[in-house]
A and B are shown apart, each in its own frame.
Chain A
Amino acid sequence: MASSDGILLKGAPFEDPAAVSSRNASAYRPLHTFELPKGSEKHYAHQFADMYFVRLAQLKEAVKQKAHEAWDAFELAGDKAKYVERVLDVRQGELCWVVGTVYMEMAMKPNVLDDISKEHWIAAPPSRDTYVSPSGTDDMMLEDESGRLRVAGNSLNSHYVTGCILAALGTEQADGSFQVIATQYADLPRQPQRWEAEDASLTVAKEPTPKREKAGKLAIVSGLDMTGKDEDDVTLDLLVEYLSGEAGGPDQASASSITRLVIAGNSLSNASPILSREEFDVRKGAKRNYGYDSSSYNATPAEKFDAFLAEILPALPVSVLPGEQDPANVALPQQPLHPALFPLSRAYQYPPALANETLEGLDLVTNPWEADVEGWRILGTAGQTLDDLLKYVDGVWPLDAMEMMLRWRCIAPTAPDTLWCYPFQDDDPLILKECPHIYFAGNREKFQAKFVKGPAGQQVLIVGVPKFSKTGQIVLVDMETLEVETVKLGYVKPGP
């Protein structure tokens, strides 16, 4: 059943332990795609309309091209489909196609105008699990800078969300709605070759390409949900011991092939600066305290997280994405957690004054996060974008939704409608410019992974990383073959 050398159930004389294994370097090139300008360069007074404008302008060409390929030869009852520049130029009864931004009119969706008009007499509704109204009265619109067109058709049923750019083929009906026959989206953008950026810079520097070692594994974990309490301590300890190669028998060495750990958000269980509705009520009802209030801030989870990182960091580089519950800004893109939260582990970070990236050590990054690891392009989020998108649709698997985000070339289509977002002005980094090789989203209910293929041979590994606090799972991605495996840590509940 078990190989004998794995059994450490023997006493004296003690065998000499096997030689210590060491980790390889992690080839890492951060991209800083989602970093916002610092300090006063940040402007929150801009209109969000610009984001939609930029999105449409940037993606229109790609969508148009796809639609041309698909529909140029399309004929319906002798009618040739023709492209109409603006949605308001659609004529009744004419077979044509238009490009526009989807807007979903949903009764259950939070509406900022409602919020303002009702502010004075009713509390805002609690956040919902889904925006889909049970009666099925939701409307879908297609809009561009000229106006809106109500669209209808069976092919659309709960497959699109606010903010994605779409080409729709169809005819306008007598009632003014646009009956859609087929749709097209931009699909995956160009995918860089492995090691492309590194090789390019080497060529520029006229250096020969080095012989690269076999890449190790990337470990992804999310939702550590550290509380101040000790209910999950042993599982976290096991994680530390697994990653440091202390737990287990001689197979400890397998952990040494892990060359980087990514923590995909929600490391702390409840540290968001925005109070939930219930918390707010409690706070409001409570007596007012002046000065330091220990009930309003509990440093224990943060200290624990810091100590946790400080245990791992001596032997493993860690990239930390902030998540919904972490003490970072709430608007996407979330900026890196502040080093002041990590008095112990920030010794493994380059001084922030000198460099804004740490290649080996504590690497505090944005959410979403884009980087080249072992030559592969990696895009990851802590999962808010996916959670919000899933509220628009019904019965869609998270992995499929992630795939659609890539195909729409929009990492956060529902921002800024229902997702907090920085008002980007001239360029929107949330538009996908290059296709990643690995796309992961943290804080899923369970582990899922699949490969997606693009029209130009792109291949993307999509991973849903489960919450560690719920499942005890971490995801390992082999950075040579892009194979996925999981490690499950836990304990058996003591019986009666």
Chain B
Amino acid sequence: MAEARYREYLVDRVLAEGQPITYRLLSRALQVHVNIAKQMLYDFHAEQTKKQPKSVHATYLLTGKERSSEHSNGDIAHNGDDTAMRSSPFMSSLPEPENTPESPVPTTSVVLVREEELEKTKSGFEEITSIHIYSLEPGPIENLNLLAVCNQEIARSHASGDPLERWRDYGSIQNPYIKRRTTKYAPAMAKPTTKATVKATAAVSAPNEGSKQGPAVAARKESTPEESKSGRSTPQPGPTASLKRSDSKTMTKKDASVGNLFKSFAKAKPKAKEAEKPIEEDAMQGMSEDEGDADDEPAVKFDEEKAAAARKAREEREQKLQEMMEADGTSVLDMPDAPTEETDSQDAPIDKETPNQPAESEATVTVQGGRRRGKRRVMKKKKVKDEDGYLVTKEEAVWESFSEDEPEPKKAKPTPKPTVAKGKKNGGKGQGSIASFFKKA
């Protein structure tokens, strides 16, 4: 039951991973009513504080009436800088102040507040209609906007299911009149992986690839767009930012068992590794886990070197790939012709070093409509006058473009082409194009 699981979940999330959690995310994760989730947070918070004060930090959500709207102006943070009131100097010269509508309008305030400021804020309220824990986090947070990470996570990982049925589980307001049509195309908005996991897998997989010499190009291909996507997407400090911050704050007072993803990876604590495991499963295959445990420092260094090497290799591969992609489409298509010719004529394995016939072997050939065009390397004799005034004949390898009318004798391919062309001509003879008329004449 969810009641039993929540403690475990919160320990994992807040204490072990050092991530903030809101009641909303908890209710999504455990599939419980939001009000129960709020109570779970309180329960957990009370328990942990009893065990060890200040081990968990909470923020509260207050709903109620503030004492005076003027007074609260200073307290409640408004985003953005104050823009000067338009023509405010002139306002004072207003002739009829009774015209201004100052009838008191009932205002409900919903205020999110850290536990440090809770009492002070409470005293500013005339009436409090409700109060509950909004979020728990490992340490005091400076910027409450970081809590938005939780709702982003909801959008990412708990978006499945019919939104119109959400109220059953979570107790939000239901509206029976809203209809949702199923669109033909499902938007690929929810990014499947969080930034942190992408980064983690990348960090792990890099050395992995370095050790594996021939990685499938396809796999690379798949991973590159993902990386670029994550790089381009929301410039918000995602979970990673919060991790770092909470880490720096809390690590000092708490034992090292509270670690973030990267730290735990570097130090290779077995426990943290277990926590990570589901994320990295695939990437970890190539690595033996013992290695990391045996000696920490060198392993990390070694990994870094490896990672650098792998990065280099990857960059080269990418460049090659790019070149391939950029090459002319026709030539790519016709490429297979050239090697077959060679194997036909020479009966040699491809990877064997070809004998000194640079002109043939190194030619880049494109075949177009029965004509071979390209560049080949030929040895040319060059006469140069040297310093002493002697004529020196040198042999130099020079690239020369060529175009051959005659296809190679062994090639059978070009022959059908003329026949096709002829056939066309014959077929068209009934009408006769103007061009053919002129040709005849």
Contacts and interface: CB of A to CB of B under 8 A. Distances in A.
| Binding between chains A and B | yes
Interface of A: 1-3, 6-12, 14-15, 17-18, 20-23, 25-26, 129-130, 225, 228-238, 240-242, 244-252, 255-256, 294, 300, 303, 306-307, 310-311, 313-317, 343-344, 346-351, 360-361, 390, 394-395, 397, 399-400, 445, 447-450, 469-473, 484-495
Contacts of B164: 314
B90 A313 contact: no
Nearest to B134: A247
Given A230-B236, A233-B145, A315-B174, A490 B107 contact: no
Given A395-B87, A485-B107, A494-B114, A344 B189 contact: yes
Contact of A8 (B39, B113, B177, B178): B39
Nearest to A241: B24
- Summarize B's interface: helix, strand, loop or mixed: mixed
B436 interface: no
B172 interface: yes
A360 B178 contact: yes
22 contacts: A6-B131, A11-B39, A14-B39, A17-B34, A22-B175, A129-B86, A230-B237, A234-B145, A238-B112, A246-B172, A255-B173, A307-B155, A315-B172, A347-B181, A361-B178, A361-B179, A449-B105, A486-B105, A489-B111, A492-B76, A494-B116, A494-B143
Interface in B74-118: 75-80, 83, 85-87, 90-91, 93-94, 99-101, 103, 105-114, 116-117
A193 B226 CA distance: 59
A228 B233 CA distance: 10
B132 A230 contact: no
B76 A472 contact: yes
Given A3-B129, A244-B173, A252-B173, A348 B35 contact: no
Contacts of B168: 20
B110 to A, nearest CB: 5
Nearest to B116: A495
B246 to A, nearest CB: 14
Closest 9 CB pairs of A and B: A249-B130, A11-B43, A233-B148, A6-B130, A8-B132, A450-B101, A491-B112, A245-B173, A343-B187
Interface in B30-77: 33-36, 38-40, 42-44, 46-47, 61, 63-64, 66, 75-77
B3 to A, nearest CB: 7
B384 interface: no
B127 interface: yes
B180 interface: yes
Contacts of A26: 177
Contact of B75 (A246, A316, A344, A492): A492
Given A247-B134, A400-B99, 13 more contacts: A1-B128, A7-B130, A8-B39, A11-B43, A20-B173, A231-B79, A232-B79, A249-B63, A251-B130, A343-B189, A348-B181, A394-B87, A394-B90
Contacts of A247: 61, 63, 110, 134
B166 interface: yes
Contacts of B38: 8
A346 B183 contact: yes
A256 B63 contact: no
Contacts of A447: 105
Contacts of B66: 488
